Amino acid sequence: MKISTSFLTIAALVISAQAIANNKGFDVIYGEDNRQDVYASTNSAYVELSKSTAAMIDMGNLKSAPNGEVKIDAETLEDRGVCAKERFSKQISAANCSGFLVAPNVLVTAGHCIRSEADCRSNKWVFDYKVDFEDQGAINVPASSVYSCKKIISRSLDGQTKDDYAVIELDRKATDRRPLSFRRTGKIAKGASLVVIGHPTGLPTKIADGAKVRSLNTKYFVANLDTYGGNSGSAVFNTSTSEVEGILVRGDTDYIQEGSCQVSNVCTDQACRGEDVTYITNIEALKNY
Per domain, the residue ranges of the chain are 7-288
- Partners of 216 in beta bridges: 221
CB 92 within 8 A of CB 76: yes
Chain-centroid distance, C-alpha 209: 14
Return d(Cα 272, Cα 142) in angstroms, integer.
40
Residue 228's pLDDT is what? Answer: 87
Residue 80's pLDDT is what? Answer: 93
CB 179 within 8 A of CB 54: no
Return d(Cα 201, Cα 25) in angstroms, integer.
8
Return d(Cα 17, Cα 72) in angstroms, integer.
17
CB 110 within 8 A of CB 248: yes
Residuewise pLDDT in 10s, the chain (289 residues): 233 333 333 333 333 343 443 333 444 666 678 899 999 999 999 999 999 999 999 999 999 999 999 999 999 999 999 999 999 999 999 999 999 999 999 999 999 999 999 999 999 999 999 999 988 988 999 999 999 999 999 999 999 999 999 999 999 999 999 999 999 999 999 999 999 999 999 999 999 999 999 999 999 999 999 888 899 999 999 999 999 999 999 987 778 888 999 888 877 667 678 899 999 999 999 998 9
CATH number for the domain formed by residue range(s) 7-288: 2.40.10.120
Q: List the beta strands (DSSP E) in 173-270.
A: 193-198, 206-216, 220-223, 235-238, 244-250, 255-258, 261-264, 266-267
- φ/ψ region of 128 (left if φ > 0, alpha if ψ in -120 to 50, else beta) reads left
Chain-centroid distance, C-alpha 207: 10
Return d(Cα 89, Cα 191) in angstroms, integer.
32
83-106: b or e for each residue (b if 16 or more CB lie within 10 Å)? beebbbbbbbbbbbbbbbbbbebb
Among candidate residues 268, 278, 274, the one with its CA nearest the CA of residue 244: 278
Question: For residue 217, what are the contacts with CB-CB under 8 A and spacing of at least 6?
Answer: 162
- Alpha helix locations (H) across the chain? 17-21, 44-50, 117-122
- For 17-74, give the DSSP string: HHHHHTT----BEESS--EEEGGG---HHHHHHHTTEEEEEEGGGEEEETTTEEEE--
The per-type count for the chain, helices as H runs and strands as E runs, is 3, 20
